[in-house]
Amino acid sequence: MRIFKGLPLFMVFALLGLFACDKNDPEPPVDPGSNAAVNQWIYDIMEQVYYWLEEMRNPIAETSDPEDYFEALLNRPTDRFSVIYPDYQELLNSLNGINLEAGYEFILFRESQNSDNVIAEITYVKKNSPAATAGLLRGDIIQTINGVQMTIDNYREVLEDISSTHTINYLRFNEETQVFEDQGDLELNTVQLAENPNFLDTIYTINNQKIGYVIYHFFAPGPGNGSTVYDNEMDGIFAKFKAEGINHLIVDFRYNGGGFVSSAVNLASLIAPSVTQNDIFSKTKYNSFLSQFDDFQNVQTPFKTKSENLGNILDGNRVYILTSSRTASASELIINGLRPYMDVFLIGDVTTGKNVGSIPFDDEDNPQNTYGILPIVTQSFNSLDESDYTNGFTPAISAREITERLRPLGDVNELLLRTAIAEITGEAPSGRFQKLDRQDIGSTLDIKIRSGRMIETMK
């Protein structure tokens, strides 16, 4: 049984030598379409690679539902992140930003403190999506979905409708009248959308300070099949920043819940001053079993040598990173990995707190087993062996975007961006901004497969 798809080649060789089957002692055949076949596969993987091996729980009956079987093995509540999916290909697609959707994300709030009604404010609209074609904008307020008013009790069920063609009723803020106006009903189709994580980049010149700003929504090298299109685009963004001679850099991770470590290394290699492949970005620790073997000891990931690296052009050797409670995993890996090399100045909310990574596995030998699993396999450290951020990184300046009406991303009056600009220029913004008292109770980003993931290696 080949259970090591997704592991680096040196790991495959090491492990295959250890677990060669005794052909004189064959196991009784198991129906490949049965729960028992799936659960045996799950256990074979977990007993070798699961990071909390000593704390792994005893398995339940092999005939159990695979999702229940997998869950029963996990070291909860310490392990907040290991997951199983019924469709491995859907798992891979989502990790690369490919989903069946209309192309918009939103945050959910109570309509008021005295109401159980829930409303949604659109946080961003994806390029080349049905939502973009329909003209939806960040800050639009969704009142109903398919005619149903969301409440505290039903909003999770109502949100299931947005994965297929659906109708929303929504409001839009009128800047002239300063009120929200009813836009009526809008029908939205869903498509298999490949979202580009490179959402926005621009350069501002304010008070003789040249500021590069980039919004990056998740870590993926490309839309699959070995593509590096997204990484290459990011290289081009930094080549432009370097050519324009920016003095300051703002990286916006507020909606970035993680993704592939390879893309995190690529981005960090553009930011850290004059690093090369001789400098260590991160270190990786495996479980007690794998750590017995040389190939799993002292595992280090170097930076890349990149001509687009900004070098020493940033004032004070500082990078500004915008965060939220949904900033997780590979985003936090970058924060931690850059800290030994420069001043990492956080603005926003406390991050998720995920210093552990996963590898996706599927059962290549059993086509009837469509499941994919993402168990926690590693813990990550920076070059100074620091990894203590399970409670998240606390920003130097606290700012939560839900405390204001959402302005367009890239607008210098948008809360997080203007807070960073004020810190850079030393001048407070001159406008007046209404504060809102509302509680974030969820987001469409929370149900994304990639949310909170740090994918170490995938074949």
Alpha carbon of 333 to those of 168, 284, 423, 442: distances in Å? 37, 11, 24, 24
Residue 16 one-letter amino acid: L
With respect to residue 408, please indicate whether it lies within any of the assigned structural domains. Answer: yes
Q: What CATH number does residue 254 fall under?
A: 3.90.226.10
**107-112, long-range: CB within 8 Å, 24+ apart, which pairs?**
107/402, 107/440, 107/442, 107/443, 108/150, 108/155, 108/440, 108/441, 108/442, 108/443, 109/402, 109/438, 109/439, 109/440, 109/441, 110/152, 110/438, 110/439, 110/441
Q: Do 234 and 344 belong to one domain?
A: yes
β-pairing verdict for 318-323 and 248-252 = parallel
Position 202 in a domain: yes
Q: Of 165, 193, 221, which residue is a domain's last?
A: 193
* Shared domain check, 253 and 149: no
Same domain, 371 and 293: yes
Query: Based on the structure, what is the number of domains in the chain?
Result: 2
Q: What is the DSSP string of 260-287?
A: EHHHHHHHHHHHSTT--TTSEEEEEE--
Which residue among 127, 162, 193 closes a domain?
A: 193
Residue 4 lies in a domain: no
233 by Cβ neighbours in 10 Å (0-12 / 13-18 / 19+) ranks as middle
Q: What is the CA radius of gyration of the chain?
A: 23
Please say which residue of 193, 218, 240 terminates a domain. 193
Lookup: tokens for 49: 């690679």
In DSSP terms, 314 is beta-bridged to none
- Please indicate, yes or no, if residue 50 is contained in any of the structural domains: no
Q: Which helix or strand (DSSP H or E) is residue 236 part of?
A: helix 229-244
Tell me the C-alpha distance between 96 and 224, whole Å. 6
Residue-by-residue DSSP string for 374-435: E-EEEEEE-TT-----TT-PPPSEE--GGGSPPPPTT-TTSHHHHHHHHHHHS----S----
CA distance 321 to 345: 6
Assign residue 167 the CATH number of its domain: 2.30.42.10
Residue 159 domain-assigned (yes or no): yes
Q: What is the pTM of this model?
A: 0.91
User: Are residues 373 and 310 both part of a single domain?
Assistant: yes
- E strands, 89-188, in order: 98-101, 104-110, 118-125, 141-145, 148-149, 166-174, 179-188
One-letter identity of residue 126: K
Q: Judge whether 85 lies within some domain.
A: no
H or E, element range at 209? strand 209-216
Question: Are 108 and 243 in a shared domain?
Answer: no
Do residue 136 and residue 263 come from a single domain?
A: no
Same domain for 377 and 337? yes
| Residue 161 and residue 225 in one domain | no
245 and 381 within one domain = yes
pLDDT at residue 10, as a whole number: 44
| Contact between residue 108 and residue 152 where contact means Cβ atoms under 8 Å apart | no
- Is 9 within a domain? no
Whether 117 maps to a domain, the answer reads yes
pLDDT at position 34 is 96
Domain range holding 184? 99-193
Query: Which residues lie closer than 8 Å to 213 by C-beta, 6 or more apart?
Result: 200, 201, 202, 203, 204, 249, 250, 252, 410, 417
pLDDT, tens digit only, all 459 positions of the chain: 444 444 554 454 444 444 444 445 566 678 999 999 999 999 999 999 999 999 999 999 999 999 999 999 999 999 999 999 999 999 899 888 999 999 999 999 998 888 899 999 999 999 999 999 999 999 999 999 999 999 999 999 999 999 999 999 999 999 999 999 999 999 999 999 999 999 999 999 999 999 999 999 999 999 988 999 999 999 999 999 999 999 999 999 999 999 999 999 999 999 999 999 999 999 999 999 999 999 999 999 999 999 999 999 999 999 999 999 999 999 999 999 999 999 999 999 999 999 999 999 999 999 999 999 999 999 999 999 999 999 999 999 999 999 999 999 999 999 999 999 999 999 888 778 889 988 899 999 988 877 766 677 643
State the pLDDT at residue 439.
86
Sign of the dihedral defined by the CA atoms of residues 129, 134, 136, 142, in that order = negative
| pLDDT (0 to 100) of residue 26 | 63
Provide the sign of the torsion angle of the four alpha carbons 143, 435, 107, 421, taken in this order.
Answer: positive
Residues 113 and 212 in one domain: no
Task: Please give the distance of CA 355 from its chain centroid, rounded to a whole number.
Answer: 13
In single-letter form, the type of residue at position 111 comes to E
Task: Judge if 225 and 361 occupy the same domain.
Answer: yes
If asked whether residues 262 and 121 sit together in one domain, one would say: no
